[in-house]
């Protein structure tokens, strides 16, 4: 019985049902169902979402992936992969389908333990840290297939992220200690700031599942940013977007970087990545085949071969 | 069936729309009414075939159980089929400390019962909450039975099948007599022969026990509300929605699941302690697996995650079999049929949490819109 989700309720919307909640007073949530009404969801990139603690990180290597190998039984998903991310840059992690990009993410965020090799964050090995501890340390991520908390509102989704740096426990929640109030209002301020930045502040009280696809994608980024990440990992954030939407999202990601965050971006689309990233790492069949500036990657024969296939006559 | 929740949510909306003073007056009136139910004996509601005060006490006791189990199932999404185990541990803690092996006063036994069940919740939860879904259900199902078997076989501690008697009652004072109301048709009479002594916890009169249980329900509800409207409640909800995503957003999911489990257990223990002091005699037969199923039914029928829903269901599922006692065994048939009908026509429960009502409405609308587009 884990959550009898009401999706299956065979109840057509009857006019009568809606009439039964009259003059309810100012309830923002009830407008959630009136989605036909257009809400302006243009991101407002002028909002300052920077965090001093993140902005003050010293320049240099933020994260080092050191000779990571990961095997699942006989399958080698990652094979001696090494690269690093510098503070304040956007690093693109690209490669064809099944190259191990997401697996690489999963190793960095503690979902998988590497078979050999290791990941260092701010000079310290991640070791056997649990997933939530790594998030608290400063690595946050989004998911390739959206994994929001669907039955929670947009605001609550972001609040869960903000709770990563809160420590209110049962005791202070029950007694409503000052700490509870301080953290709740800090979290809410931060959440509204991020929602405004993403252009979602007018949808704060809508359920995540009722948001349009593009808004859900941006909400996931907002939720990850709420944890005050030193490194923000985006797993194909533009999947399913049309070219214009993709370009807009890339601009948004650049703004996030300009506000002091370090971004690791997985993307499928080579052309798109070229424009926004500072450096690029290319994976194929679990191996790193190239690393360098976008211009260098563009002309790299191994990369071209990986993406376009090798012309057999040419060899 | 949808009318049920629309009706109640409609009431909720109107209530929230009222000015502050009106809300306070209404709330006080409702509380007073509920407290005076066994005195008023309102026709239609009162049970003629069994003592109304005792029925109400059981309702309040099970409401407590439902609130506790709602934290585990409704908030944290952990299916616990062995909740009777915690109820039993609570009752036996009071029995052992208050009668069998020591003569501690009840006011010490009750907190002790909560602490012992809390600890047993942690002991059961720490290894088992690592498994998910169906596996957790099976493990907890086993736990409920194990507790009962231990109660039977650990004779030195629990007196085995003979049970424990002479369990202490709460300290009371005889202050004044409250005459009950007797109804003949729609005329009310003050029945001076049938009275309840204010706060005398005796053997025959269940009304003071009802007041005690109701007060505890109020306190626990308040704490439950505070928990749910905080970081803790959000963490539970996120864990229920998507455990992996929650963990990757910095929620220590295991710790919060354990917290939900232990809190729920402690509330179950409190309810068990009430049961023990009311019955004054307990034996292992009081704690069979059927009760675990009944408790889960209360939470599911009420609407997982809505504290008012599960209280309503707990009261309904306790009261209805007593009210319709004249149907004798046919009651159970009807009970089963009613549960089946509910599962088919209203799987989310009588009174699901408000936001899932909204979500399903929105889904239905989307469906209609999509169909419209497809037809056009």
Minimum mean pLDDT range among A19-28, A71-80, A108-117, B338-347? A19-28
Measured over the CA atoms of residue A241, residue A243, residue A248 and residue A251, the dihedral's sign is positive
Query: Helix/strand/coil (H, E, C) string of chain A?
Result: CCCCCHHHCCCCCCHHHHHCCCCCCCCHHHHHHCCCCCCCCCCCCCCCCCCHHHHCCCCCEEEEEEEEEEEECCEEEEEEEEEEEECCCEEEEECCCCCCHHHHHHHHCCCCCCCEEEEEECCEECCCCCHHHHHHHCEEECCCCCCCCCCCEHHHHHHHHHHHHCCCCHHHHHHCCHHHHHHHHHHHHHHHHHHHHCCCHHHCCCEHHHCCHHHHHHHHHHHHHCCCCCEEEEECCCCCCCHHHHHHHHHHHHHHHHCCCEEEEEECCHHHHHHHCCEEEEEECCEEEEEECHHHHHHCHHHHHHHHCCCHHHC
Rounded CA gap, B199 and B177, in Å?
10
Asked if A9's CB is within 8 angstroms of B348's CB, the reply is yes
Contact A32 B365 (CB under 8 A): no
pLDDT at position B113: 96
Is the predicted pLDDT of residue A51 greater than 60, yes or no?
Answer: yes
Residue B376 CA to residue B364 CA, distance in Å, equals 18
Give tens-digit pLDDT for B223-279. Answer: 999 999 999 999 999 999 999 999 999 999 999 999 999 999 999 999 999 999 999
Report pLDDT for A38. Answer: 63
Report if pTM > 0.80.
Answer: yes
Q: How much of chain B, in percent, has pLDDT values that exceed 70?
A: 93
CB A99 within 8 A of CB A284: yes
> What is the pLDDT averaged over residues B200-205?
81
pLDDT of residue A263: 95
Q: pLDDT of B4-34, one tens digit each?
A: 667 777 887 888 888 889 989 999 999 999 9
Q: Is A180 near chain B, with CB under 8 Å?
A: yes
- The overall average pLDDT reported for chain A is 84
Handedness of CA B367, B373, B374, B376 (dihedral sign): positive
Q: What is the pLDDT of residue B364?
A: 65
Nearest residue of chain A to residue B219 (CA atoms):
A174
pLDDT bracket for residue A34 (50, 70, 90): very low
Dump pLDDT digits (tens) for B81-119.
999 999 999 999 999 999 888 889 999 999 999 999 999
Residue A132 to residue B247, Cβ atoms within 8 A: yes
Does position B355 have pLDDT exceeding 80, yes or no?
A: no
Predicted confidence (pLDDT) at residue B376 exceeds the cutoff of 80: no
CA–CA distance, A239 with A227 (Å, rounded to integer): 23
Q: Which residues touch A39 (CB under 8 Å, ≥6 apart)? A: A202, A203
Radius of gyration from C-alpha coordinates of chain B: 22
Write out residues 129-158 of B within 8 Å (CB-CB) of A.
Answer: 133
Token pair 């202050």: residue: B175
- The DSSP result for B168-237, as a single string, is PPPP-----EEEEEEEETTEEEEEEEEEEETT---SS--HHHHHHHHHHHHHHHHHHHHHHTSHHHHHHH
ipTM: 0.83
pLDDT at residue A111 greater than cutoff 50? yes
Chain B nearest C-alpha distance from A304 (Å): 34
What are the DSSP E strand ranges found in B15-74? none
Beta carbons of A160 and B365 less than 8 Å apart: no
Query: Among partner residues B17, B246, B368, which is closest to A23 by beta-carbon distance?
Result: B17
CATH architecture of B2-375: Orthogonal Bundle (1.10)
Q: Is B356 on the interface with A (CB under 8 A)?
A: yes
More confident residue, B360 or A304: A304
pLDDT of residue A162: 93
Query: Residues near A64 by Cβ (< 8 Å), separated by ≥ 6?
Result: A82, A83, A84, A85, A119, A120
Q: How far apart are CA A146 and CA A152, in angstroms?
A: 14
A·B CB contacts under 8 A: 187
**Band of residue A27 on the pLDDT scale cut at 50, 70, 90:** very low
CA distance A125 to A224: 22
- pLDDT above 90: residue A195: yes
Residues 190-249 of B with CB under 8 A from A: 223, 226-227, 230-235, 237-238, 240-242, 244-249
- For the segment B138-171, what is each residue's pLDDT rounded down to a tens digit? 999 999 999 999 999 998 899 889 999 999 989 8
What residues of chain A lie within 8 A of the CB of B264, using their CB?
none
Per domain, the residue ranges of chain A are 41-154+229-308
Question: Could you tell me the pLDDT band of residue B359, with boundaries at 50, 70 and 90?
Answer: low
pLDDT higher than 50, residue B328: yes
pLDDT at A200: 92
Instruction: For chain B, give the mean pLDDT.
Output: 88
Residue B367: pLDDT band with limits 50, 70, 90: low
Q: Is A2 on the interface with B (CB under 8 A)?
A: yes
Contact B278, B59 (CB under 8 A): no
Token pair belonging to A7: 């999706």
**pLDDT value of residue B42:** 84
pLDDT of residue B10: 80
Closest CA to B4 of A199, A4, A11: A11
- Tell me the per-residue pLDDT of B47-69, one tens digit each, with 9 for 90 and over: 877 889 999 999 999 999 999 99
DSSP letter at B167 equals P
Domain A41-154+229-308 sits in CATH at 3.40.50.300
Residue-wise burial string across B191-227, b where 16 or more C-beta atoms lie within 10 A, e elsewhere = eeeebbbebebeeebbbbbbbbbbebbeebbebbebb
Residues of chain A above pLDDT 90, percent: 52
Give the pLDDT confidence score for residue A12 in this predicted structure. Answer: 42
**Confidence bin at B349 (pLDDT 50/70/90):** confident
The pair of structure tokens assigned to B37 is 């139910």
Q: What is the per-residue pLDDT across A205-242, written as a single tens digit (0 to 9) for each?
A: 889 998 999 999 999 999 999 999 999 999 999 888 88
User: Is pLDDT at A291 greater than 80 in this prediction?
Assistant: yes
| B330 phi and psi angles, rounded to 5 deg | -60, -20
Contact B277, B164 (CB under 8 A): no
List the domain boundaries for chain B: 2-375
Q: How far B315 CA sits from the closest chain A CA (Å)?
A: 21
Six-digit token string for A122: 């701010």
Vertex B123: Cα angle to B119 and B128 (nearest 5)? 140
Task: State yes or no: pLDDT of A35 exceeds 50.
Answer: no
Q: Is the Cβ–Cβ distance between B206 and B54 less than 8 Å?
A: yes
């Amino acid at each position: 019985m884990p959550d009898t989700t009401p999706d299956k309720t065979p109840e057509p919307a009857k006019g009568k049902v809606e009439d039964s909640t009259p003059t309810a007073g100012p309830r923002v949530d009830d407008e959630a169902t009136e989605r036909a009404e257009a809400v302006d969801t243009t991101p407002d990139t002028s909002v300052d979402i920077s965090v001093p603690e993140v902005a003050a990180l010293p320049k240099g290597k933020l994260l080092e992936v050191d000779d990571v190998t990961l095997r699942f039984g006989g399958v080698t998903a990652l094979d001696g992969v090494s690269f690093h991310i510098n503070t304040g840059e956007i690093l693109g992690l690209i490669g064809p389908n099944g190259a191990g990009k997401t697996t690489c993410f999963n190793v960095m965020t503690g979902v998988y333990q590497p078979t050999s090799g290791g990941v260092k964050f701010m000079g310290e090995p991640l070791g056997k840290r649990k997933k939530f501890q790594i998030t608290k340390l400063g690595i946050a991520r989004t998911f390739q297939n959206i994994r929001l908390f669907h039955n929670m509102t947009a605001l609550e989704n972001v609040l869960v992220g903000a709770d990563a740096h809160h420590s209110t426990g049962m005791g202070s929640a029950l007694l409503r200690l000052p700490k509870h109030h301080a953290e709740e209002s800090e979290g809410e301020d931060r959440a509204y700031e991020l929602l405004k930045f993403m252009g979602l502040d007018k949808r704060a009280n809508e359920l995540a599942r009722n948001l349009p696809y593009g808004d859900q994608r941006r909400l996931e980024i907002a939720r990850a940013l709420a944890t005050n990440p030193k490194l923000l990992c985006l797993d194909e954030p533009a999947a399913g977007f049309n070219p214009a939407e993709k370009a807009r999202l890339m601009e948004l990601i650049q703004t996030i970087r300009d506000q002091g965050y370090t971004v690791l971006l997985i993307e499928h689309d080579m052309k798109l990545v070229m424009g926004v990233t500072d450096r690029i790492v290319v994976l194929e069949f679990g191996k790193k085949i190239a690393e360098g500036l976008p211009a260098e990657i563009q002309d790299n024969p191994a990369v071209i071969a990986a993406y376009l296939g090798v012309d057999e006559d040419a060899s | 069936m949808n009318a049920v929740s629309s009706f109640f949510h409609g009431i909720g909306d109107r209530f929230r729309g009222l000015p502050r003073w009106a809300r306070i007056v209404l709330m006080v009136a409702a509380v007073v009414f509920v407290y005076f139910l066994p005195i008023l004996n309102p026709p239609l509601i009162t049970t003629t075939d069994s003592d109304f005060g005792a029925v109400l006490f059981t309702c309040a006791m099970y409401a407590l159980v439902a609130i506790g189990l709602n934290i585990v199932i409704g908030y944290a999404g952990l299916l616990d089929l062995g909740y009777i185990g915690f109820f039993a541990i609570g009752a036996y803690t009071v029995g052992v400390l208050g009668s069998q092996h020591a003569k501690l006063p009840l006011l010490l036994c009750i907190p002790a019962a909560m602490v012992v069940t809390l600890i047993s919740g942690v002991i059961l939860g720490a290894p088992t909450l690592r498994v998910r879904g169906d596996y957790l259900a099976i493990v907890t199902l086993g736990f409920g039975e194990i507790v009962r078997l231990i109660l039977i076989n650990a004779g030195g501690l629990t007196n085995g099948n003979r049970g424990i008697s002479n369990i202490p009652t709460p300290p009371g004072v005889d202050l004044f007599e409250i005459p009950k109301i007797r109804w003949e048709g729609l005329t009310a009479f003050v029945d001076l022969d049938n009275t309840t002594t204010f706060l005398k916890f005796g053997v025959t009169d269940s009304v003071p026990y009802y007041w005690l249980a109701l007060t505890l329900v109020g306190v626990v509800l308040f704490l439950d509300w505070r928990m749910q409207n905080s970081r803790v409640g959000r963490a539970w909800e996120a864990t229920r929605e998507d455990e992996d995503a929650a963990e990757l957003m910095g929620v220590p999911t295991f710790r919060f699941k354990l917290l939900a489990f232990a809190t729920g257990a402690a509330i179950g223990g409190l309810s068990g302690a009430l049961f023990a002091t009311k019955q004054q005699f307990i034996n292992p037969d009081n704690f069979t697996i059927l009760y675990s199923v009944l408790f889960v039914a209360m939470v599911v029928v009420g609407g997982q995650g809505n504290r008012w829903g599960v209280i309503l269901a707990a009261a309904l599922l306790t009261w209805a079999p007593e009210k319709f006692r004249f149907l004798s065994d046919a009651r159970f048939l009807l009970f089963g049929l009613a549960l089946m009908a509910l599962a088919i026509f209203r799987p989310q429960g009588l009174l699901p949490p408000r936001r899932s009502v909204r979500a399903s409405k929105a889904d239905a609308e989307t469906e209609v819109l999509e169909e419209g587009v497809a037809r056009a």
